Structure 1
Amino acid sequence: MRIAFEFLRGGGEQRSLNPLENPVVSTGSHTDDLLTFFGLLGHDPKLPTVTIESALEVPSNWCAVNFLSRMMASLPLHLFKKVGDTSQRVDGDLQMLLNEAPNPEWTSQGWREYIWSQVFTGGRGTTWIERQGSKILALWPMDPDRTSVRRRNGRKYYRFEAKEYPAADVIDVTFLLKRNQLDVYSPIQKNKRAIGLMLAMNDYASSFFASGGTPPLSLEGPLPQGAEAFKRAQADIQRAIDLAKQSGSPFFGMPPGHKLNPIGIDPQKGQTIEARQFQIGESSRIWGLPPVFLHDLAHGTFNNTEQQDLQLVKHVVTHWAGKFEQELNLKLFGQRSRARHVEHNVDGVQRGDFKSRVEGIARAIQTAQITPNEARKLENREPMPEGDKLYIQGATVPLGTQPLLKAPADNGDANADAGDKTES
């Protein structure tokens, strides 16, 4: 089954548009002309068709996908090997593939941004691992539109451009798997009705302002007879409206006994601005982003904006980073290999203002959580001699080990007693 999604219009009861089947509609000779005149004939009341391309025309959707893709692609991705009970960062060809250039044509930033953009739109991003024996030579991103996933004899295979690869050679990052464990849910496809509403609202707003702010109008009065007469009347009225707009005239004349009435509601009464604001909230819910990262500060304050920044790392970045890390560890090193692993560094995302960061690092050094050189490494500074030792403040000691000091004698009372004896 192909990975690419074809977004179909929402189903539902289909009704014929033939007015002869509707007893409410008059069956006069000019019925079709009347419907055409009022713009009703052939009108499809369904929401606009939603595809990935059309969904990204909504600014909040475009912002969400771009922000998440760039965010996840810019996280440093380090390679570690296990030494005893600790893990040490290592360098080498694989580290270069992950952080600099996965193949001769792609940068690491471009490769990961492409993968994540596919995950946050179609629901899946795949990469083929080129190997020579046990050595990894390159990582090649695969186009989801030309990739299919199937299971044969209990094993999963990926077919791309007439070639088939076992699951062990394909890095597969998914938004959410379906029950058959092969297909995926696309955030755009699963929310196509909400996104279709966004597109319909965009179309209405653009058509309203493109018409110079003139809402749809209905003509009241004696209607001309015949198809050609309808067309001429419609053209004359439209020409009069256009001339009024071009001349800046606040009004134009109508034939005796005729009147133009607006139909529908204008954007202000329809709460268009409020509805477009609600679109941002919908996009935020679809991709799980705090609203501030979609440039929505309508309800933002200094405190809750800072909390949303923490929420981004705790409930969005770490989840997707963990999913990518586990997929890389499984496909690059195998199911039972624990000697090496890859891990994102989210310290850069968690950086606050300079004062708070310096105070936090100083506190970690003083409580023997990190060494001075580890702290300098966080700021990309060179290590210093004696900087690999753990330090702790001298005043901090275990309870009960403080030295006991004898209280000094109170000579004041003794002198007072001596004075009393002398006077007596």
Structure 2
Amino acid sequence: MKTLRIPIISRWLEKRSESSDLSNPKRWLYNALGIPYGNSIVVTERSAMRSTAVLTCVRILAETVASLPLPVYKRLKPRGRERVSHPVGDLLQRRPNPRMTAFTFRETMMTHILLWGNCYAEIEYDGKGDIKALWPIPPHRVEHMETEAGDPFFRVTTSDGKQHNVPFYAMFHIPGLGFDGKKGISVIQWAKRSIELALATEQFGADFFENGTNVGAVATHPGTLTDEAFERLKQSLREKYEGLGKAHRLMLLEEGMTFSKNTIPPNDAQFLETRKFQILEIARIFRVPPHMMADLERATFSNIEHQSTDFIVHSVRPWLIRWEQTINWKLFSETEQQRLFAEFLIEGYLRGDSAARAAFYKEMFNIGVYSQNDIREKENENPIPGGDRYFAPLNMIPLDLLDEYYKGKLAPKEALKGGDNDEGEQEGAEGMGAAGESAGGPEG
């Protein structure tokens, strides 16, 4: 009786049935331990950083988020906000713990979430119950657990192998894209094939040029060499001509020998095109514009500014919202959440060039939205005396008074006075009223 064989499953079982130990390791054991097997490439969250494209994308996103100001605000009534001094703001902008700066903390947390899909920081409290420090934890050392009652908590394994449990409220956890809303997925593992190809092309290029540009040549002898003559010739060729620093040397051959190159140019093998495509592929995974990775092939002076704005809006802002909502949820008490919140400042990245900013500020100043000091603050300039006043045009009328004005029930002076204007504003209103009447006002 023949045994039923299913090709894929049978081959998998045969590989597992082969004996494998440290003296005779098989490929699956190498992969399980994260060790390259022969010339194979094993992609992990750490080894993926060997790809220049992955390294560049992670650095760009992590450094951008880490460098943005993150002040704490107090909500004003009926609307508006005001910057306040708060211990959480000190943790986020100056020193989250005694061993690192705020920039290093946020950069490390962003690197974790970009590679592993999650970032964790244990919240340390003092004797009064106030937050004392934030300690980042590598994601591969954190497990999501639940009690018998279904309450979540985290199990952390330290570098010395010890374990301790962290309550849910004491863990600052930002998940990336995921399926259950509890834990994010690793982008590196989902894009494993693309990163493998990028690393493989880099390895091929390194191997190709390792012995210089004159590799893969053939030396032909008209006769037959003895073993001793063959070894002497091989050693002579290696010593004199092999290596990048010995390329393009004049080669001297004996006994009628001929020399011919047997190489395939990398360009003919689409080597450069493959490398370029993989850079763009990884840039798409992290949503980073190619020009920020020093690929200016399709960038122009007219579109590079819009690409930079698009990067802030569609690539960086989703990460900022994750940070803001987690901060406001985990670092403020329930009573503080009603009146305090933290928010990143990104206006500096969106303000455009000098001409565009000047036109925007002028328009905002003319309609009374910005004062002179508001504009100076956005340009990182110090305030000036008397620069906090807001100005508005006098030839305008509130919409709720417009119907009464045209029905003749409201005089032009009263419409603009609004009960609070000074004499100068009243005079301006009279002038406007005269202009309105001549243009077909209530008495026209």
> What TM bracket, shorter-length normalisation?
0.7 to 0.9
Structure 2 CA distance for partners of 1:291 and 1:12, relative to 1, 3 Å: farther
Distance 1:267 1:348 in 2: 44
How far apart are 1:375 and its partner, in Å? Answer: 2.2
Q: Is residue 2:17 matched to residue 1:58?
A: no
How far the C-alpha of 1:261 sits from its partner, in A, is 6.4
CA contact (8 A) 1:244 1:252 kept: no
Structure 1 spans left out of the alignment, 5+ residues: 1-10, 18-42, 408-424
User: What is the distance in 2 between the residues matched to 1:83 and 1:12?
Assistant: 69
Q: Matches of residues 311-326 of structure 1 in structure 2 within 5 Å?
A: 311-326=310-325
In the alignment, what sits opposite 1:240? 237
- Contact 2:222-2:256 at 8 Å conserved across structures: no
**Aligned equivalent of 2:211:** 211
Q: CA contact under 8 A between 1:47 and 1:193: conserved in structure 2?
A: no
SS where residue 303 of structure 2 aligns?
helix
| Among 115, 123, 128, the residue aligned to 1:129 | 123
Q: Give the Cα–Cα distance (whole angstroms) in 2 for the partners of residues 406 and 322 of structure 1.
A: 51
Q: Which moved more, 1:247-256 or 1:382-391?
A: 247-256
State the Cα distance separating 1:72 from its structure 2 match: 0.3
CA–CA distance in structure 2, aligned partners of residues 171 and 213 of structure 1: 53
Given candidates 25, 44, 48, the residue that maps to 2:41 is 48
Question: In the superposition, relative to structure 1, how do residues 96 and 54 fare at CA in structure 2: closer, same or farther (>3 Å)?
Answer: same
In structure 1, the partner of 2:155 is: 159
Highest relative contact order (Cα 8 Å, sep 6+), 1 or 2? Answer: 1
What does the per-residue CA deviation read over 1:284-303, in whole Å, with 9 as the maximum and x for residues that have no partner? 11111111111110111111
TM-score (norm 2): 0.72
Task: Give the superposition deviation at 1:14.
Answer: 7.0
CA–CA distance in 1 between the matches of 2:395 and 2:53?
54
CA distance in 2, matches of 1:351, 1:91: 27
Percent of aligned pairs with the same amino acid: 26
What is the CA distance between 1:328 and its match in structure 2? 0.9
Q: Which residue of 2 aligns with 1:267?
A: 266
Deviations 1:97-155 (A, max 9, x none): 11111122221111111101111122221111122344222222122232222222322
Q: CA deviation at 1:272?
A: 2.2
The residue aligned with 1:140 is: 135
Instruction: Please list, as runs of the form range in 1=range in 2, the aligned pairs for 1:7-406 lying within 5 A after superposition.
Output: 47-86=40-79, 87-132=81-126, 133-152=128-147, 153-160=149-156, 161=158, 162-179=163-180, 181-216=181-216, 233=230, 236-237=233-234, 239-240=236-237, 242-244=239-241, 246=246, 248-251=248-251, 253=253, 262=262, 265-333=264-332, 337-395=337-395, 402-405=435-438
CA distance in 2 between counterparts of 1:406 and 1:280 reads 64
> How many Å separate the matches in 2 of 1:283 and 1:292?
13
Alignment root-mean-square deviation, CA: 3.6
- TM-score normalised to the size of structure 1? 0.75
C-alpha displacement at 1:220, in angstroms? 7.8
Kept after mapping to 2: 8 A contact 1:101/1:108: yes
Q: Against the structure 1 CA distance between its residues 391 and 235, is the aligned structure 2 distance closer, same or farther, given a 3 Å change threshold?
A: farther
| Higher mean displacement: 325-334 or 366-375 | 366-375
| Farther off after superposition, 114-123 or 143-152 | 143-152
**Runs of 5+ unmatched residues, structure 2:** 1-8, 16-35, 407-432
Looking at structure 1, the residues matched to 283 and 322 of structure 2 have their Cα atoms a distance apart, in angstroms, of: 21
Conservation of the 8 A alpha-carbon contact between 1:50 and 1:196? yes
1:192–1:310 distance in 2 versus 1, CA, 3 Å: same
CA contact (8 A) 2:328 2:342 kept: yes
Rounded Cα–Cα distance in structure 1 between residues aligned with 2:279 and 2:374: 41
In structure 2, what is the Cα distance between the partners aligned to 1:203 and 1:300?
29
Q: Give the 3-state SS of the residue equivalent to 2:295 in structure 1.
A: coil
* Contact 2:88/2:331 (<8 A) preserved: no
User: Aligned partner of 2:174: which letter?
Assistant: V
Deviation at 1:89, TM superposition (A): 1.5
Q: Which amino acid aligns with 1:321?
A: L
Q: Deviation of residue 255 (structure 1)?
A: 7.1
Is residue 377–residue 383 contact of structure 1 (8 Å, CA) maintained in 2?
A: yes
CA distance in 2, matches of 1:91, 1:109: 19
